[in-house]
Amino acid sequence: MWKSRAQRLTDSSAAMKKMQKNIRVLYFASDCAEPYVEIITVKDSKRRLSLCDSVESEVDETEFQEVEDDFPVLSHASQLLDDFHLQKIAANLPPRTQGYPWHLVYSTINHGSSLKTLYRNMADLDSPVLLVIRDMHKKVFGAFCSDPFRVSKYCYGTGETFLFSFNPDFQQYRWSGENSYFVSGNWESLQIGGGGAGFALWLDADLYHGASFSCPTFRNAPLSTNEDFIVQDVEVWTVQN
Q: Is residue 159 part of a domain?
A: yes
| pLDDT on residue 119 | 97
Answer whether residue 146 is part of any domain: yes
**pLDDT for 11 beyond 90:** no
- Please report which confidence band the pLDDT of residue 179 belongs to, taking 50, 70 and 90 as the band edges: very high
**CA–CA separation, 50 vs 52, rounded Å?**
5
70 confidence band (pLDDT: 50, 70, 90): low
Instruction: Tell whether 115 is covered by a domain.
Output: yes
The pLDDT, as a whole number, for residue 72 is 80
Name beta bridge partners: 40. Answer: 24
pLDDT at position 216 is: 97
What's the N-to-C CA distance of the chain in angstroms? Answer: 85
Kindly state the average pLDDT of the residues 158-168.
95
Please give the residue that has the higher pLDDT: either 74 or 1: 74
pLDDT tens per residue across span 97-114: 888 889 999 999 999 999
* 6 within some domain: no
The radius of gyration of the chain from alpha carbons, rounded to an integer in Å, stands at 32
- Number of domains forming the structure of the chain: 1
Q: Per-residue pLDDT for 207 more than 90?
A: yes
> How would you label 224-236 residue by residue, b for 16+ Cβ within 10 Å and e otherwise?
bbeeebebbbbbb
Residue 160 within a domain: yes
**Cβ(107)–Cβ(135) below 8 Å:** no
On whether residue 189 sits in a domain, the answer given is: yes
Per residue in 17-39, pLDDT (tens digit) is 444 444 454 444 455 445 444 44
Q: Which domain holds residue 97?
A: 83-239
The mean pLDDT of the chain is 81
Question: Is residue 143 in a domain?
Answer: yes
Confidence check: pLDDT of 60 > 80: no
Report pLDDT for 182. 98
Q: Give the CA dihedral 152, 156, 162, 163, nearest 10 degrees.
A: 20
pLDDT band at 81, cuts 50/70/90? very high
Model pLDDT, residue 98: 84
Whether 59 is in a domain gets the answer no
pLDDT in tens, 119-150: 999 999 999 999 999 999 999 999 999 999 99
Would you say how long the chain is, in residues? 241
As a whole number, mean pLDDT of residues 74-87 equals 92
